[in-house]
Chain A
Amino acid sequence: MIVLTPLKNFQFPVHAECISPDVFQGKSVKEIASLTVWEGNKKKKLGDLFKIEETSAETPSIIINSDASEVRRVGQGMKNGEIVINGNAGMHLGEKMAGGKITVNGNANGWTGSSMKNGLIEIHGDASDYLASPYRGSTEGMRGGKIVVDGNVGSDSGCYLRGGVIIVKGNAGPFMGFHISKGAIYVEKNAGNRLGASMTGGKIVVSGSVDELMPTFTIDGVKGKVKIDDTLKAEGPFYVFLGDLAENGNGKLFVSQPANPQLSAIYDKYL
């Protein structure tokens, strides 16, 4: 196990995609210390910015102790191993991750798990915007794996999801599940507006209240329970909506009936 401790509070962005179990694998502490990172516009060595120690424990493969909110691209594309961050994580954490596990004992920043393919990301605090969502201009959203956030998530999360599961135990911001085509999103508390806008497939389940539903969803019925994945079932009853009609979509939106009495006046007449 490699333990990284930042030597200072970073003001400038630190790009450190080398902090990944696949890269560290088989390298000595000295070799790891000489890996290239960037601090602002200056090229540095990992050892210039972090204290690097090795312990005999096998897992996790890497621990970052204390705040790393300016340290970007940690675990980018990682395939194996485990990273634990005891503090806040920087942007693009686990971007395009293909396997292994990342745990954040703090908050995560934008684009965490962006376009991830497989693996597990657990965030014990909040996640910022664009959780699991792809890079600008791309529609290649998260394809597989699982993300669990204990706190809240920001806006535009789970965009273009095409597989895998996202579980949010707190609240979700606007545009949650924008244009998803497959996979599942579960929000245990409340969801912001434009929920599931332009979705063409997949499912989104909200156990709390929704700010406002897109007008382009049509009610399909009420359901008692909804399966999120093999390990989790959400207890309803839920209104079931189909949409987004603007995309001729066939996505399913499950919204708690008891938590959303405001919907009854509009939709109950169609049931």
Chain B
Amino acid sequence: MMQQKLHVTLLTGRTIEQGVGKEYGKSSPEYYEACSMVYMDADDMQKLGVKNGTNVLVTTPNGSVVLKAVKYPRSAIPGLIYIPYGPWANSIVSNATTSIGMPSFKGTPAEVEAAPDQPVLSMKELLKKEFGR
């Protein structure tokens, strides 16, 4: 059954593409490709009517960001989404540190909805939007 919104658990973390991209430079196309995406469970994508490569809007209490949805290749991860580390992920991760200085980069609630018509921002555009510089 198609759903408009999906409640998921947000994980952020490393991918080798993100690792390679950052070494080319944060303004490089490699970095943009690697970090402005979100891994999703195949069935979850079906529920949202989202295909591989369709843009989705991910929202948390801390903000929203548009990302390219990519099917997680190795196993089912129902109810999880995985965004590589980077400014895109960080525009929505939780600030909650439980007083140890470490924000909650993994395991916080989020919502995903299809957003085929909204663009994925470049890093420059993203920084301008979030920080006005």
Contact with B along A134-166 (1 / 0, CB 8 A): 000000000000000000001110000000000
Q: A110 on the interface (CB 8 Å rule)?
A: yes
Say what secondary structure dominates the interface of chain B: loop
Q: Which residues of chain B have C-beta atoms less than 8 A from A173's C-beta? A: 98
- Residue-wise, chain A 109-128 has the 8 Å CB interface mask toward B (1 for contact) of 01000000000000000001
Give chain A's interface residues, CB within 8 Å of chain B: 110, 128-130, 154-156, 173-174
State whether the Cβ of B99 lies closer than 8 Å to any Cβ in chain A. Answer: yes
Rounded to whole angstroms, the CA-CA distance of A156 and B100 in the bound complex is 10
The residue in chain A whose Cβ has the minimal distance to the Cβ of B97 is: A129
Q: Mark B58-100, 1 if CB is under 8 A from A, else 0.
A: 0000000000000000000000000000000000000000110
The 3 closest A-B CB pairs, nearest first, are A129-B99, A155-B98, A110-B99
Give me 12 A-to-B residue pairs in the complex whose CB atoms sit less than 8 angstroms apart, sorted by A's number. A110-B99, A129-B98, A129-B99, A130-B99, A154-B98, A154-B99, A155-B98, A155-B99, A156-B98, A156-B99, A173-B98, A174-B98
Q: A154-B98, A155-B98, A174-B98 are in contact. List 10 more A-B contacts (CB 8 A).
A: A110-B99, A128-B99, A129-B98, A129-B99, A130-B99, A154-B99, A155-B99, A156-B98, A156-B99, A173-B98
Complex contacts, B99 vs chain A, CB 8 Å: 110, 128-130, 154-156
How far, in angstroms, from A130 to B98 measured CA to CA in the complex? 9
Q: Considering the chains assembled together, what is the distance between the CA atoms of A174 and B99 in angstroms?
A: 12
**What is the minimal beta-carbon distance from B37 to any residue of chain A, in angstroms?**
31
Determine the chain B residues whose CB is within 8 A of the CB of A156 once the complex forms.
Answer: 98-99
